Structure 1
Amino acid sequence: MTTDRSILLVGTGGWGREVARAINASPRWCLAGLVDTDPQALASTRDALPAPQPPVFKDALSAAKATRPDAIAMVVPNPARQPLLEHFLRAGFPAFVEKPLVHSPDQLSRLGEILAEYPTPLMVAQNYRYSAHSRALRRFIEDAQFGRLREIHIAFARNGRNFAGHPVSRMAGPTGLLMELGIHHLDLLRYLVGQEPSVLHAEAASPLKEFAGWTRIDADLAFPSGTTAHYSARYNAAHDETPWGGSWNFIFDHGEAHYFPCPSADAPAIRFSPVPPFGWPKDLPTPDAREQRQNLLQAALAEFATSLDENRPAETGFADNCLTIKTAFAIARAAGWDFA
């Protein structure tokens, strides 16, 4: 497959630099240009790329006019992203955006209205589901080699004091922990089970004075198949931190599986008890952290290109991502948050 589409990258900070590397290495995309209001971030990302380096711009609208790209990649946090995204969707530019798509039901409704009037392709980079391990685990669950999936226990824990100055520490209520971080876990949960959950119960607390919003969330969910899930997310872990993807335990009729969506290179991504007699691809490697990030981005970018080729919604397009976001909203409301 040849590089046949150009994409303009808006946002070149830490994660934007990772996205730039992935686009540069993609067989389907080439960088039309880099955009950022921060000249240091622009220069750093440009210099991290091999020659020939793409042109750089301070203004996204001027950059789009100058480069006429086939699509826009937006790695700009909300709320700054919303007006830019709306402009590009109205102008007909397919958009590849970072999660979370929105922070509130009002923002989601507004975006839905714009897409109804201007039906432009939009894909959200919910990356965890695109890993080879996640794909294989979903097949394992569907094949029912251990029987029916009964329970899922998801634990995420980090010491928030280590990044108390990060923008997420200043976000109110559920925004920092649930919408910015937990949205990854909820999307992967929906993908692996293949059904939409109902929220049975949720509670939240704010035990860290360094954070404006919630730093602990617990939620119980149920799926139509009878599978239940318990989700626990914490930014107040003094020790026993999990990887950013969390620690997942699956309980089946006849066995268990333990999964780390973001494993370390010296530990397996998934362990079974007992070991499956067949059907699990034992040769899946566990790459280092940077390679994991690049692999996930490459898979997401490939899906974006293929969805445009086939004139269909991307797997994590607007309609599907709405379901993930609405699950997060339901947890927040059940825990007492009022989005009004």
Structure 2
Amino acid sequence: MRSQHRENGMRLLQVGMGGWGRDWASTVVPAVPEVEPVGYVDTAPESLTTLVESGLAADAMCFSSTAEAIAATSPDAVLVTASLPGHVPAVRAALEAGLHVLVEKPLAPSMKEARAIVELAAERKLTMMVSQNYRFQPAVRVVRKIVREGVLGPLNSITIDFRRASVKRTAPTGRPLMTDPLLGDMSIHHFDLVRAITGLEAHDIVCRTWHPDGYGYGGPPAGAALITLQDGLVVSYRGSWVSSGAVTAWAGEWRMEFERGEVWWTSRPDGSEPGVVESVRLRSDGVGDRAVPLPQLPRTDRAGCLTEFEASVRKGRTPETAGRDNLGSLAMTYAAIESARTGVPVTLG
């Protein structure tokens, strides 16, 4: 079984070389020298052609099937950056070959499929991690510490706003064609951060989505939800791909009210939002409003994810965003989608 970590680094096979996969290959993997790319897989010949023409790979490193690539390259692990329908087949092929896996979110198209591959990883004693990259940011680390250490007393409420502006169009490509472009592609990040920061699972969700006229999305690009966590804490969430308001950073704008104060924070700006920066501000009784210093993380975002994956395999420990843990974030997402479609609250099991 090829599950041993090499002394000279993790040999990494990447599956899914569309635009997002090529971005991983060009900007993320090179930032983590502990891993060595040994091959690339895509069922679409044009994706592999583009990969080679861009100078990211040689012809000999490109394959049309995961099984063929595994046999030819003897990797230690597989990075799955394919579109959602390709996640489960690629992850299963890797696990059955005895390989560790890092897979893009969402983990699987359904909870049943997600649980099945989580159990397969456990049976094979292999690491299977989901790339929930928003966790690997300075502001998130600071806010989690404030909550977990009870700096301001008990947490009473959370309000999250996510706003992005789309140009009106009738022939969209990529994300706009998704059935649930807001909840399935973006809100899963915010839901995962709720769990990461509070340490709590969701008890129930009520969600509504809508589709403003003139925007060429395959599903509703705007929505709002009330999420009740297991201890009764209520999270108010609003998100939109078609907002005319000031755009937020990708992690959104968060206001968290505690017994003795409030924390306002935002995270993961991309430089396109004037004045939007990674920041945490705290207001407490007798102290007033102040900025909280942010730590310098050696690697953030997807590079932080890949670093955590490599380290967890090398050290034989469970990664922060292991597949089993990620089931809670996936369940929140699919519960929100179900509630939006049915019009009734959904209780999570």
Measured against the shorter chain, the TM-score band is 0.7 to 0.9
Report the Cα distance in structure 1 between the residues aligned to 2:119 and 2:21, rounded to whole angstroms.
Answer: 28
2:293 is equivalent to residue 282 of structure 1: yes
TM-score, normalised to structure 2's length? 0.82
Partners of 1:121 and 1:81 lie apart in 2 by 16
Query: What code does the residue aligned with 1:329 have?
Result: Y
Q: Please identify, of 108-117 and 126-135, the stretch whose mean Cα deviation from structure 2 is larger.
A: 108-117
Match of residue 198, structure 1, among 203, 207, 221: 203
Q: Which residue of 1 aligns with 2:329?
A: 324
Whether 1:272 aligns to 2:272 is no
String of CA shifts for 1:15-60, please: whole Å, max 9, x gaps: 2233223222313211112223455544555576789998333333
Q: Structure 1, residues 125-160: CA drift from partner, whole Å, max 9, x if none? A: 000112222112211222222222211111112234
Among candidates 175, 187, 202, match of residue 168 of structure 1 = 175
**Equivalent residue in structure 2 for 1:137, among 136, 143, 163:** 143
The amino acid that maps onto 1:272 is R
Pairing partner for 2:70 from 26, 42, 64: 64
1:85-100 correspondence runs (5 A)? 85-100=91-106
Matched AA of 1:58: S
SS at match of 2:182: helix
**Structure 1 equivalent of residue 228 of structure 2:** 222
- CA distance, structure 2, for counterparts of residue 263 and residue 231 of structure 1: 19
Pairs aligned (count): 331
Please give the secondary structure, in 2, of the residue aligned with 1:335. helix
Give the distance between the partners of 2:60 and 2:135, measured in 1 at CA.
30
* Distance in 1 of aligned mates of 2:168 and 2:74: 41
2:159 to 153, 160, 166: 153
Instruction: Look up the SS of the partner of 1:230 in the other structure.
Output: strand
Alpha-carbon distance in 2 for matches of 1:218, 1:34? 39
* Counterpart amino acid of residue 232 in structure 1: R
Corresponding residue of 1:236: 242
8 A contact 2:138–2:296 mirrored in 1: no
Give CA-to-partner distance per residue, 1:62-94, whole Å, 9 cap, x none: 221111000000100121332222222222211
Percent of aligned pairs sharing the same letter = 27
Alpha-carbon offset, residue 324 of structure 1: 0.7
Secondary structure of the corresponding residue to residue 79 of structure 1: helix
Distance 1:316 1:159 in 2: 29
Residue 296 to residue 223, structure 1, CA distance change in 2 (3 Å): same
Letter in 1 for 2:200: Q
CA distance in structure 2 between the partners assigned to 1:66 and 1:251 by the alignment? 54
Q: Retained in 1: the 8 A contact 2:134–2:189? A: yes
Q: What is the rounded CA distance, in whole Å, between the counterparts of 1:193 and 1:19 in structure 2?
A: 29
Unaligned runs of 5+ in 1: 287-291
Shift of the 93–11 alpha-carbon distance from structure 1 to 2, 3 Å rule, reads same
Structure 1 residues 161 and 107: alpha-carbon distance in aligned structure 2, compared to 1, 3 A threshold: farther
The change in CA–CA distance for 1:97 and 1:204 in structure 2 (over 3 A counts) is same
Report the equivalent of 2:263.
257
* Counterpart Cα distance in 1 of 2:221 and 2:144: 30
Aligned position for 1:189: 194
Q: What residue is the counterpart of 1:289 in the other structure?
A: none
| 3-state DSSP of counterpart to 1:336 | helix
The 3 A distance-change label for structure 1 pair 283 and 240 is closer
State the shift of 1:181 in Å.
1.5
Change (3 A) 1:323 1:258: same
- Structure 1 residue 4 corresponds to structure 2 residue 13: no
1:111 corresponds to 2:117: yes
Q: 1:221 to 1:282 in 2, by over 3 A?
A: same
Deviation at 1:109, TM superposition (A): 4.3
Counterpart check, 1:83 vs 2:58:
no
- State TM-score, norm by structure 1: 0.84
8 Å contact 2:163–2:239 — kept in the other structure? yes
Quick one: which amino acid aligns to residue 282 of structure 1?
A: P
Indicate if the aligned counterparts of 2:279 and 2:294 stay in contact, CA closer than 8 A.
Answer: no
